[in-house]
Amino acid sequence: MNMQVIFLGTSGSIPTPSRNLPSILLRREGEQIMFDCGEGTQRQMIIGKIGFRKITKILITHMHGDHVLGLPGLLQTMALLDRSEKLCIYGPSGIRGFMEDMIRSLQFNITFPIEVYEVKNEGTICREESYEIKAIWADHVVPCLAYAFIEKSRPGKFYPEKAKALGIPKGPLWGKLQRGEAVRLSDGRIINPEEVTGPPRPGRKIVYTGDTRPFSGLIELAMKADLLIHDSTLDDALAEKAGEDGHSTPSQAAETARKAMVKKLVLTHISARYSDPSILLEQACRIFKNTIVAEDFLSLNVTFPDE
Amino acid sequence: MNMQVIFLGTSGSIPTPSRNLPSILLRREGEQIMFDCGEGTQRQMIIGKIGFRKITKILITHMHGDHVLGLPGLLQTMALLDRSEKLCIYGPSGIRGFMEDMIRSLQFNITFPIEVYEVKNEGTICREESYEIKAIWADHVVPCLAYAFIEKSRPGKFYPEKAKALGIPKGPLWGKLQRGEAVRLSDGRIINPEEVTGPPRPGRKIVYTGDTRPFSGLIELAMKADLLIHDSTLDDALAEKAGEDGHSTPSQAAETARKAMVKKLVLTHISARYSDPSILLEQACRIFKNTIVAEDFLSLNVTFPDE
């Protein structure tokens, strides 16, 4: 089951010729989940030849314009394309009022149901059959959420030789056991999946910080994540300004990645002052080697930990 | 005195890889006046290497998202760049509420004065020393303004031989007469500028329709304009749909251009269905030859009628 993370916008609070304002798209099993939606996100999707219809959820980290101002235009375009599927929008307090203001001011003719959830408490904010999304408070100058997309564990690896040894006939019963279901054989015996499979295999985990200073809660949220997408607005030499503005430096992001033992770190929200971001990469790599700097339209395949 | 019109966005209501959402910038004497501000306009300016500081006025034609959603992000960026100069925003009813909602929702730290004018009545909405801006109601599906930027007449051409014949010494007195001022000679005679200059020379006129069906009032507004920038969303074969949606076709735009005897017609607000807009150009040129189809970053120099 493929999972891709596509960076639609990777700039800081002001866009550049090569970086649009922040937005990240997670594609998985025919579903698309968007994190942040800076101005111009709809056009980035059009340029990237990515359809709008499969977006089911949009999660906003905070109510600063550079993270949210692409939302009304995206919704307008969805409506112009006659979308009928429900869309869920999550964000901090203020997201509902923003949506209501927009729909009123711009006389939208919305063709589809929109459900807006203002996140009040840390924890799981959405639970689906095969994944959940958690949110915790980051450390920015306004309330800002960090999100974790966490796949549920999959059943353990199936061992055909064990099934054969137990006299389970090859066929539909094997399939059920593979999916983690118990089966009853024709002789009355009940076989539990654990008898023919290995231990459950962990799913994938992706964490996005939004805008934030480094903060300790993030280490737990990001623990063993496959991908940690971290604010890295300014380089280490500007650590003081980064802190004042509620942002992180490459070393701070890398330190969290190291402590959380993540697989890969992606630096994003890159200030317009870095036309060449190699300084950011160098500073992070000294502390955490498997780091990259995001760029617009970068697409990462996220594999299972055991793949 | 140079005057340029720069097309920052020329798409219909959905952007395309090559066309951003509507915005037009008029540059004149160190001042920039923006007409409409679709989502992504600030980035178009950055790509086009056009500074924000000299924008003094932003005129919105109507409160549809594709014409106004770039405004909050542009203002945020101006504030991040520590703008201090006043900015005037004009638009139909609703523009004030939209601005207030935005500033509240997004916790803007606005560093400069913003004056918002809701246009209620047709006529001159702003009068400056060397130009005025007029607005009239266009014919769209929501209240939509068409704008005319009209330069005042300049003093007539100065004839040095007439000045010499009247015994006016070359020097500062010639300059005053050239600027349209009367002068007193050392012998007591008063010379009026009309004695040494030709008739006043008309200034330049640029008219922008916003989104509209063809309507008769536009002919008067656009009469003898140097540039008529006209909605041309759909081609003639889709005239019925254009009418339903409150838009114009190339032939309709060209008919107005012909009747208004304008110098040049620019078709804009081009639907995403025309990756090649030559059909639009052909249809308009049959009726009005001096037509072009706008494209993003097209820059037109507008010369004086007598140049």
Any alpha helices (H) in A222-269, and if so which ranges? 239-245, 250-259
pLDDT at residue B275, rounded to an integer: 94
**How many Cα atoms are found within 13 Å in the side-chain-facing hemisphere of A165?**
7
Residues 6+ apart with CB under 8 A from A92: A60, A61, A62, A63, A118, A119, A143, A144, A145
pTM of the model: 0.92
Chain A residue closest to B74 (CA)? Answer: A14
> Token digits for A5?
């993370």
Contact (CB<8Å) A13/B97: no
pLDDT at residue A179, rounded to an integer: 86
Please give the average per-residue pLDDT across B255-262, as a whole number.
Answer: 98
pLDDT in tens, A49-71: 999 999 999 999 999 999 999 99
Secondary structure class of B15 (helix, strand, coil): coil
Chain B residue closest to A18 (CA)? Answer: B47
Distance between CA atoms of B287 and B307, rounded to whole angstroms? 25
Residues of A in contact with B233 (CB under 8 A): none
Contact (CB<8Å) B63/A142: no
Q: Pick from B13, B64, B70: which is nearest to A39 by CB?
A: B70
Catalytic sites of B, residue numbers: 66
Please give the average per-residue pLDDT across B258-269, as a whole number.
Answer: 98
Check residue A112 and report its DSSP letter.
Answer: S
Residues of B in contact with A81 (CB under 8 A): 14
Judge whether A107 is closer than 8 Å to chain B, CB to CB: yes
Residues of chain A with pLDDT under 50: none
Distance between CA atoms of B224 and B245, rounded to whole angstroms? 28
Whose tokens are 């990462």? That residue is A300
Distance between CA atoms of A140 and A209, rounded to whole angstroms? 10
Angle formed by the axes of helices A71-80 and A95-105, to 10°? 50
pLDDT at B306 over 80: no
CA distance B98 to chain A (A): 6
**Which residues is B5 bridged to in the sheet?**
B26, B300
> Token digits for A139?
């450390």
Domain boundaries, chain B: 3-154+201-301, 160-195
Contact (CB<8Å) A69/B107: no
pLDDT tier at B105, thresholds 50, 70, 90: confident
Contact (CB<8Å) B14/A65: no
Q: Pick from A17, A43, A142: which is nearest to B46 by CB?
A: A17
Contact (CB<8Å) A107/B16: no
Chain A residue closest to B109 (CA)? Answer: A64
Complex ipTM, two decimals?
Answer: 0.91
Judge whether B39 is closer than 8 Å to chain A, CB to CB: yes
pLDDT at residue B104, rounded to an integer: 85
Chain B residue closest to A62 (CA)? Answer: B106
pLDDT in tens, B66-87: 999 999 999 999 999 999 999 9
Judge whether B249 is closer than 8 Å to chain A, CB to CB: no
Judge whether B94 is closer than 8 Å to chain A, CB to CB: yes
Please give the average per-residue pLDDT across B238-253, as a whole number.
Answer: 97
pLDDT at residue B6, rounded to an integer: 98
pLDDT at residue B81, rounded to an integer: 95
Mean pLDDT of chain B: 95
Please give the average per-residue pLDDT across B43-67, as a whole number.
Answer: 97
pLDDT in tens, B152-183: 998 888 999 999 999 999 999 999 998 889 99
pLDDT at residue B307, rounded to an integer: 72
Chain A residue closest to B20 (CA)? Answer: A43
Residues of B in contact with A72 (CB under 8 A): 65, 69
Q: Pick from A13, A105, A142: which is nearest to B107 by CB?
A: A142
Judge whether A77 is closer than 8 Å to chain B, CB to CB: yes
pLDDT in tens, B205-219: 999 999 999 999 999
Judge whether A83 is closer than 8 Å to chain B, CB to CB: no
| Weakest mean pLDDT among A102-111, A244-253, B124-133, B240-249 | A102-111
Please give the average per-residue pLDDT across B173-199, as a whole number.
Answer: 91
Superfamily of domain A3-154+201-301: Ribonuclease Z/Hydroxyacylglutathione hydrolase-like (3.60.15.10)
Residues 6+ apart with CB under 8 A from A188: none
Residues of A in contact with B17 (CB under 8 A): 43, 46-47
